Amino acid sequence: TKDFEGRTALVTGATSGIGRAIAVKLAEQGATVYVTGRRAELGKETVELIEKAGGTGHFVVADVGDLDDVRKLAREVGEVDVLVNNAGIFPFSPTAEQAVETYDRVFGVNVRGTYFLTAALAPAMVAKGRGSIVNVSSVAGQLGSPIGSVYHASKAAMDGLTRSWASEFGGSGVRVNSVAPGPIRTEAAMNGDSELFEEFANVVPLGRPGEPDEIAEAVVFVASDRAGFVNGAVLNVDGGLVVV
Ligand code: NAD
């Protein structure tokens, strides 16, 4: 039997990259998946991939950087068994050159969006005594970089939320964990600051960057009942990058 038969999941930023891979894999494991993001065309593509895999998907448009959108999204999907906070942006700039707007946007999407979507959906999980929340953070939250201070800080903040929520909701049977990817071959990451991507990829002990599917595997595992005693963890899926 499939791990998520009869369960529902919401994946943010599932219109591309890692989020799309997570959405498809959850659906393959039997979940009904709500796919959310800002771009309807891409969202529909993800739903098509889900259907091709024999699953059920629904697209709901929402900008997680916008609190009205976040609350509307939560109302629309209602109760879910699994929430994956994956949507994220990663602009890079030296600290002194960082625009205030960029700073606010990075924290607005990566941290505030994660925070208030979870705040809206966790109470139903708590009431039911079951649920799993996965924050897709980054090994950036454990590392420094000369041009990534805002992004790195936002990912450390997500891991901080994971620990407090594991403590806050754990007593009600709701588990909260982070999956922290290393460099992963998505279009966005490779077209972003590709030099930084290469730099990180080059020091991965396994000698290569990761694939979106390899992150999805880890997310699906920690979201499932098979990870029933995993709570408050930050699971690095980085080919060993942070230990070198
Ligand atoms: P991506 O750009 O393909 O995925 C991010 C998704 O979030 C996109 O679909 C994007 O449209 C969506 N998004 C951005 N802002 C949004 C908003 N305001 N509202 C709703 N959706 C929004 O890139 P990815 O590489 O797949 O990254 C996915 C996640 O993994 C991000 O949180 C990223 O920080 C994290 N991550 C990626 C890597 C990597 O190397 N690819 C490494 C570590 C962590």
Mutate to test the pocket of ligand 1, among 12, 71, 184 (most ligand atoms within 8 A of CB): 184
Which tokens in the block code for residue 186? 């998505």
Mutate to test the pocket of ligand 1, among 10, 11, 16 (most ligand atoms within 8 A of CB): 16
Does 194 score more than 90 pLDDT? no
Query: How far, in Å, is the centroid of ligand 1 from the Cα of 85?
Result: 10
Task: Write out the DSSP string of the chain.
Answer: --TTTT-EEEEETTTSHHHHHHHHHHHHTT-EEEEEES-HHHHHHHHHHHHHTT-EEEEEE--TTSHHHHHHHHHHH---SEEEE---------GGG--HHHHHHHIIIIIIIHHHHHHHHHHHHHHHT-EEEEEE--GGGG---TT-HHHHHHHHHHHHHHHHHHHHHHTTTEEEEEEEE-SB--HHHHHSSHHHHHHHHHT-TTSS-B-HHHHHHHHHHHHSGGGTT--S-EEEESTTGGG-
Distance in angstroms (rounded) separating the CA atoms of residues 178 and 83: 12
Q: Is the ipTM of this complex over 0.95?
A: yes
**φ/ψ (deg, to 5) at 175:** -95, 145
Q: Is the CB of 166 under 6 A from ligand 1?
A: no
Least confident of 21-25, 164-168, 187-191, 212-216: 187-191
Q: Is the CB of 201 under 6 A from ligand 1?
A: no
pLDDT band at 222 (very low <50, low <70, confident <90, very high): very high
Atom of ligand 1 nearest to the CA of 183: 40
Distance in angstroms (rounded) separating the CA atoms of residues 59 and 10: 10
Does 176 score more than 90 pLDDT? yes
Does 22 score more than 90 pLDDT? yes
Which tokens in the block code for residue 59? 């697209």
Least confident of 42-56, 122-136, 167-181, 190-204: 190-204
Q: What is the mean pLDDT of residues 151-160?
A: 98
Confidence (pLDDT) at 173: 98
Does 28 score more than 90 pLDDT? yes
Average pLDDT, the chain: 97
Q: Is the CB of 222 under 6 A from ligand 1?
A: no
Confidence (pLDDT) at 205: 97
Q: What is the mean pLDDT of residues 120-138?
A: 98
Does 90 score more than 90 pLDDT? yes
Distance in angstroms (rounded) separating the CA atoms of residues 216 and 33: 14
Which tokens in the block code for residue 232? 């408050």
Confidence (pLDDT) at 140: 97
**φ/ψ (deg, to 5) at 205:** -55, -35
Least confident of 56-65, 165-174, 185-194, 231-240: 185-194
Confidence (pLDDT) at 195: 84
Q: What is the mean pLDDT of residues 54-65?
A: 98
Does 168 score more than 90 pLDDT? yes
Q: Is the CB of 109 under 6 A from ligand 1?
A: yes
User: What positions carry a catalytic annotation?
Assistant: 151
